[in-house]
Amino acid sequence: METTIFYYTGTGNSLWTARMLAARLGSSVPVSITGFRGTLDAGGERALGLVFPVYIWGVPAPVIRFVDSHRMPRDAYVFAGAVNAGQVSNTLVQLERILKHQGVRLAAGFGIKMPSNYIPWGGPGPEETRRRLFKQAEEKIAGIASAISRRQPLPVEKGPLWQRILFTAMYRMSFNKVPEMDKGFWVDDKCDRCGICAQICPAENITLKGDGPLWNHRCHQCFACLQWCPKEAVQYGRKTPAYERYHHPDIRLKDMLNDPAR
């Protein structure tokens, strides 16, 4: 009973979640959405998972593209984990609809709360809170893994109605603007042109010029370029020089660069 867990990640929370699930499930492999070039086929016993961060209260564009461009197996047990900083909102309902359009049922949809990587609104929070979130996530993942191994259907998690109405409107308003939101990135004089920002970008959106990185308006807003810069030289807007950087403590740069798209 093999399980493939497709993940998308900017700062490793979703990769860590996919790994934890895979470890609990056994005979299961996490595969990067952005690096995947194959086709999906599934025997009736198989399970297929999607694990990704919540972006602007919805499903990130690369995850939608992945689902749209691969025929999802109708006979598989399909589950999804929306990794978030406290507001899963309508994300899993949105994914459920996208899959339904393909004739695929989302058998289980769960939220996993982790530290925030949305640095324009501040850092990831106190270390103690982060540790608590990891522990709670680990416990939740254990329960979910046990449901997945029994192929048990689980109701799709969602936020309160007011949140889903308001934030879905905001998601829709901003969705097409995301690729150009990279206009806020800049580098300070700590940049030594090492090129890690360009390598780690899953959108292949960054080119290195003589005077540093250039963002080419195909951004996913994952913030990997900023969060993984070893010199903390990549900035966004005016406030980020003062904010702490974040990536999941168990995920290393080499884990991220292992993705064929990076």
Site for ligand FMN in 85-144 (CB under 6 A): 85-87, 114, 116-118
Q: What minimum distance in Å lies between the beta carbon of 24 and ligand FMN? A: 18
**In which residue are the tokens 């998690």 written?**
157
Residues 53-92 binding ligand FMN (CB under 6 A) are 53-57, 83-87
Classify the C-alpha dihedral 119-122-128-129 as positive or negative: negative
Q: How far is the CB of 45 from ligand FMN (least distance, A)?
A: 28
Cβ burial, residue 166 (10 Å; 0-12/13-18/19+): middle
Amino acid at 163: Q
Nearer to ligand FMN, 5 or 54 (CB): 54
Task: Say if CB 229 and CB 197 are below 8 A apart.
Answer: yes
User: Which class for 36: exposed (0-12), middle (13-18), buried (19 or more C-beta within 10 A)?
Assistant: middle
Distance between first and last Cα of the chain: 30
> Considering the rule CB under 6 A, would residue 163 count as an interface residue with ligand FMN?
no
**Sole binder of ligand FMN in the list 223, 234, 245, 256 (CB under 6 A):** 223
- Minimum distance from residue 161 beta carbon to ligand FMN (Å): 16
C-alpha span between 87 and 89 (Å, rounded): 5
Amino acid at 147: A
Question: In this structure, what token pair is assigned to residue 245?
Answer: 């950087």
Nearer to ligand FMN, 55 or 110 (CB): 55
Q: Report the C-alpha gap between 77 and 125 in whole angstroms.
A: 36
Residue 240 lies near ligand FMN (rule: CB under 6 A): no
| The token pair that represents 217 in the structure block | 């308006």
**209-216: long-range contacts, CB 8 A cutoff, minimum separation 24:** 212/187, 213/185, 213/187, 215/182, 215/183, 215/185, 216/182
Residue pair 239/7 in contact by the 8 Å Cβ criterion? no
Residue 32: strand, helix, or coil: strand
In the complex, the smallest distance separating the C-beta of residue 182 from ligand FMN, rounded to whole angstroms, is 11
Question: Smallest gap, in angstroms, from Cβ of residue 188 to ligand FMN?
Answer: 20
Q: x-or-dash pattern for ligand FMN, window 21-40, by CB under 6 A? A: --------------------
The single residue among 4, 14, 32, 90 that binds ligand FMN, judged by CB under 6 A, is 14
C-beta of 71 vs 239, nearer to ligand FMN: 239
In the bound state with ligand FMN, the residue whose beta carbon lies nearer, of 96 and 182, is 182
Choices 94-102, 136-144, 221-229, 233-241; region in contact with ligand FMN by CB under 6 A: 221-229
Only segment of 8-16, 36-44, 69-77, 142-150 that touches ligand FMN (CB under 6 A): 8-16
Cβ of residue 109: shortest distance to ligand FMN, in angstroms?
15
Residues lying near ligand FMN in the complex (CB under 6 A) are found at 9-14, 53-57, 83-87, 114, 116-118, 221-223
